[in-house]
Amino acid sequence: MPAERLKILLVEDNPGDARLFNEALNEAHAPDFELIHCASLAQALERLPAAQPDVIVVDLGLPDAFGIDVVRRTRMGAPAVPVVVLTSRTDEALGLQALHEGAQDYLIKGELDPRLLTRALRYAIERQRMQAALQSESLTDELTKLHNRRGFMALAGSHIKSAEHTQRPFALVFIDLDGMKDINDTLGHVEGDRALVEAASLLSRCVRQTDIVARFGGDEFVLLLTTAENDWENSIRHRLQQQVDATNAQPGRRYRLSFSVGVVTADPGRWLTLEDLVAEADAMMYRQKHRKKITDGD
């Protein structure tokens, strides 16, 4: 564990129990802990932005919340912060249930052994970090380091809800990397993977920080453009072509990059589900790919 000072937000309405908790920390000779005490859940949630705790320790019996509802509201208010619950010996089953609701651990009042307390807090923080890392990996494409399909659907779905609320338009772009089969067949899959990584880097250079870029699967990519433009389609196609031309002009290349692109927009007069937007952009992309094959005489 790092040696930086850790902030503990204790949510406990009983002054005696709060004093015992503080004493247990002091007995553990833990000068690297800072204790912030709140007597109600509402007060704790209000102080969260300024306090920025590393771990929240919360009693399951508070004046304004009780039982599992305490855990649910705490997790909703601070989803990235590990939660440890305090419970009595008679309510130990409630502590176990709290684990299923996202708490990292539970401690029994009256049995706050100083050494076990500090270890439980540090382990809770470490488990939360590990879970966050695993969650991040599950939403990231291993090869390109872009969001994967699951990550895109989660982020884009959240953005669409926000866009509908604020009435702000956005665009969805479905992109297929042309010629991947030929690259794999003639140059090998190692070179094919290199082409996918190169395409991912190129696409990332074409968008803004607020946009979402993902590898949807295989040789397919998808962008969600969040900043309104006068002509979404021509603008993104122009930026893509500029990057493709610059990349293909590099000396010593063994293959050329080419994209087939489908662009759809959503605005207050035309809100669609994310699935419908993806399907429509996908269909538009395939129409362009078909036109290319006819033009190239394939």
Q: List Cβ neighbours of 72 (8 Å cut-off, separation of 6 or more).
A: 101
Residues whose CB is less than 8 angstroms from the CB of residue 26 and which lie 6 or more positions away in sequence, other chains included: none
User: What are the angstrom distances between the C-alpha of 214 and each of 1, 148, 199, 252?
Assistant: 33, 6, 11, 28
Phi, psi (rounded to 5 degrees) for 162: -65, -40
Residue 252, Cβ density class (10 Å: 0-12 exposed, 13-18 middle, ≥19 buried)? exposed
- Domain parsing of the chain, residue ranges: 6-137, 149-296
Provide the 10 A C-beta neighbour count for residue 177.
23
* Burial class for 90, CB neighbours closer than 10 Å (0-12, 13-18, 19+): exposed
pLDDT string in tens for the chain (298-residue length): 445 678 999 999 999 999 999 999 888 765 578 899 999 999 999 999 899 999 999 999 999 999 999 999 999 888 889 999 998 877 778 888 888 888 988 888 888 888 888 888 988 898 888 878 777 778 899 999 999 999 999 888 888 887 887 788 899 999 999 999 999 999 999 999 999 999 999 999 999 888 899 999 999 999 999 876 778 889 999 999 999 999 999 999 999 999 999 999 988 887 889 999 999 999 999 999 888 877 775 5
Q: Return the CATH number of the domain spanning residue range 6-137.
A: 3.40.50.2300
Q: What is the pTM (predicted TM-score) of this model?
A: 0.60
CATH class of 149-296: alpha beta
